[in-house]
Chains A and B, each alone.
Chain A
Amino acid sequence: EDQVTQSPEALRLQEGESSSLNCSYTVSGLRGLFWYRQDPGKGPEFLFTLYSAGEEKEKERLKATLTKKESFLHITAPKPEDSATYLCASGWADDKIIFGKGTRLHILP
């Protein structure tokens, strides 16, 4: 069964403490691997799309990478405003889209 698994479920960091979030997927025919940020009471907001293993994308303190089985979202020197739930999603060849359950990130000042 196609699956997208995110870890950890929740992560608390001190401001400035860098870390990584993991998204692993099991299936062939990946069309795209997406990262979204979701703030409480709001819809997910697009961050990155990765299409092939080895690809990397950066935006401010965030960097997303992709291998054949997983993706990482690296957060460098995070600030309290980076606190949110980060969602990973994968798109498959039959147009199917599967979201992971997310990682709740809390950055302490």
Chain B
Amino acid sequence: DTAVSQTPKYLVTQMGNDKSIKCEQNLGHDTMYWYKQDSKKFLKIMFSYNNKELIINETVPNRFSPKSPDKAHLNLHINSLELGDSAVYFCASSQGSEGATYEQFFGPGTRLTVL
């Protein structure tokens, strides 16, 4: 069974479009995250949610909006896509409410390419 899954794995789209990436975890974890990994492989946290509540919101353009319908799902919606949004986006989850204390389990990533 896949612990953290993301869909789609690849996403190619035109500038200005709106797209969503979905994430689900079956580990029973309380906290979920979205990360962006750029072309230089630098992994940077974007958001974290604990029990459907936003905990961390790093400096991310407001075109990015996370949505957590329940504890097991955290989706990422991106409006008006720009070239600079091209990257690999990873979803992750961890147990407990103190996300900085516990290890994270990552999904396989979604490679977003904006043309």
Contact = CB atoms under 8 A, between A and B. Distances in A.
Contacts of A97: 33, 45, 48, 56, 99-100, 104
Nearest to A30: B100
B100 A99 contact: no
Nearest to B105: A46
B43 A99 contact: yes
Given A96-B56, A99-B42, A101-B40, A46 B100 contact: no
Interface residues of B, number: 25
B42 A42 contact: no
B107 A43 contact: yes
Interface in A39-83: 41-46, 49
Given A87-B43, A97-B45, A43 B103 contact: no
A91 B100 contact: yes
B106 A44 contact: yes
B69 to A, nearest CB: 22
A101 B107 contact: no
Contacts of B42: 99, 101-102
B44 interface: yes
B65 to A, nearest CB: 20
Contacts, number: 66
Contact of A95 (B44, B48, B90, B106): B48
Contacts of A95: 48, 55-56, 98-100
B39 interface: no
Interface in B66-115: 90, 92, 98-109
Contacts of B92: 43
25 contacts: A31-B98, A31-B101, A32-B100, A32-B101, A34-B103, A38-B41, A41-B109, A42-B108, A42-B109, A43-B106, A46-B103, A91-B101, A92-B100, A94-B100, A95-B98, A95-B99, A95-B100, A97-B33, A97-B104, A99-B42, A99-B45, A101-B40, A101-B41, A102-B42, A102-B43
Interface of B: 4, 33, 40-45, 48, 55-56, 90, 92, 98-109
